């Protein structure tokens, strides 16, 4: 049986009372740690107008991380295609592929990755999401080798065949990925509800393509790994509270304290937030390996995209190390 492939999703999180520059420097450390630990690849997600997330430009961030690492795969998890023209995305990732052959991956999402006002500031319309399937096909064509009927080519981009993955948290993405014969990645690390239904639909309806004769599934999973099981359980409790505090502080002039978050831990709103972390591996290295193997079987996944939501940067680095494939 083939070894389970583990990847890592990095949001380039900006800590309270810290800076974007510090967050990006930490992303370099995370990437180097993931490379040393045997992770398959790292994904960077496009978000906008979020002061705690510094990954708004995945292509730029990937270029920097690639220059600071040697071999680990680097991809967008994802580029929100309704925010961009397919030609520009092809040129960006085609450039990356030419600079770092064999290392670049392109994950595509249909959501805007932001709020309505910011979506307008991006000069996009709500109808852009409806064009997602056609935009994926157009982007594929720019990255392929066939001469387009329009006479428009992506330079760089043409002939690079950058691998494309469809991201999603519903049956829409699963169905599109199946129809186009593309890998599918499910965001079960924060939207666990439709995981099994989406993966089953994808595999049952998969149409083989030249690049991908077989279906390929990756699934998101949270990981809180530490030196031993008890330390990991304590870390997970703190991570839960931090997530409650962060989510329920949105829109407030004064953010909640951890003590306030603990006081409302069992309220309906907080319980719903905690349920987002349904799929979380918690423990020392051995226990985490067992839990990840169990989740991979449940999700019918070929690869797991791990997210390490430890409360501090040092603890996140340690979780990445203890949860590594070779740990």
Q: What does the mean pLDDT of the chain come to?
A: 93
pLDDT digits (tens, 9 = 90+) for 79-115: 999 999 999 999 999 999 999 999 999 999 998 666 7
Rounded-to-integer distance, Cα 38 and Cα 323, Å:
10
pLDDT of residue 113: 60
Rounded-to-integer distance, Cα 185 and Cα 163, Å:
13
Rounded-to-integer distance, Cα 147 and Cα 154, Å:
11
| 223 lies in some domain | no
Position 65 pLDDT exceeds 60: yes
Rounded-to-integer distance, Cα 96 and Cα 156, Å:
9
- What's the burial of 220, exposed, middle or buried (CB within 10 Å: 0-12/13-18/19+)? buried
pLDDT digits (tens, 9 = 90+) for 237-258: 999 999 999 889 887 888 888 9
Rounded-to-integer distance, Cα 313 and Cα 315, Å:
5
Closest CA to 12 of 52, 71, 70: 52
| Percent of the chain residues topping a pLDDT of 70 | 98
Q: Is the pTM of this model over 0.75?
A: yes
Q: Which domain holds residue 136?
A: 1-25+39-162
Cα distances (Å, whole numbers) of residue 96 to 57, 183, 198: 13, 20, 31
| 215 lies in some domain | no
Q: How many domains does the chain have?
A: 1
pLDDT digits (tens, 9 = 90+) for 36-52: 999 999 999 998 888 88
φ/ψ of 264, rounded to 5, equals: -110, 20
CATH (domain of 70): 3.20.20.30
| 132 lies in some domain | yes
Apex 169 CA angle, 122 and 164, nearest 5: 70
| 85 lies in some domain | yes
| 239 lies in some domain | no
Cα distances (Å, whole numbers) of residue 200 to 112, 186, 205, 235, 298: 26, 12, 9, 33, 11
Position 190 pLDDT exceeds 70: yes
| 206 lies in some domain | no
Position 1 pLDDT exceeds 60: no
């Amino acid at each position: 049986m083939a070894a389970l492939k583990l990847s890592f999703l990095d949001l380039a999180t900006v800590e309270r009372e810290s800076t974007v520059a510090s967050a990006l420097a930490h992303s370099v450390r995370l990437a180097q740690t993931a490379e040393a630990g045997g992770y398959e690849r790292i994904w960077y997600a496009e978000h906008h107008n979020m002061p705690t997330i510094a990954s708004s430009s995945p292509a730029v961030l990937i270029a920097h991380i690639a220059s600071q690492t040697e071999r680990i795969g680097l991809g967008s998890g994802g580029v929100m295609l309704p925010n961009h023209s397919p030609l520009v995305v092809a040129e960006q990732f085609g450039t990356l592929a030419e600079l770092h052959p064999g290392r670049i991956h392109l994950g595509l999402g249909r959501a805007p990755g932001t709020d309505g006002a910011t979506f307008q500031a991006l000069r996009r319309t709500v109808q852009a999401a409806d064009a997602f399937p056609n935009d994926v096909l157009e982007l594929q064509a720019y990255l392929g080798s066939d001469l387009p009927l329009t006479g428009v080519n992506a330079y760089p981009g043409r002939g690079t065949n950058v691998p494309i993955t469809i991201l999603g948290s519903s049956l829409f993405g699963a169905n599109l990925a199946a129809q186009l014969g593309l890998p599918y990645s499910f965001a079960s690390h924060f939207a666990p509800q439709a995981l099994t239904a989406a993966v089953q639909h994808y595999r049952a309806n998969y149409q083989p393509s030249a690049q991908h004769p077989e279906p390929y599934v990756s699934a998101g999973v949270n990981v809180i790994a530490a030196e031993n099981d008890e330390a990991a359980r304590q870390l997970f409790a703190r991570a839960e509270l931090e997530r409650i505090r962060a989510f329920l502080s949105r829109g407030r002039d004064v953010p909640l304290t951890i003590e306030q978050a603990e006081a409302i831990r069992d309220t309906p709103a907080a319980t719903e937030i905690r349920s987002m972390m349904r799929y979380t591996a918690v423990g020392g290295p051995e226990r985490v390996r067992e839990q990840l193997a169990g989740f991979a079987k449940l999700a019918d996944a070929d690869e797991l995209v791990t997210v390490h939501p430890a409360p501090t940067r040092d603890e996140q680095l340690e979780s990445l190390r203890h949860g590594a494939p070779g740990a």
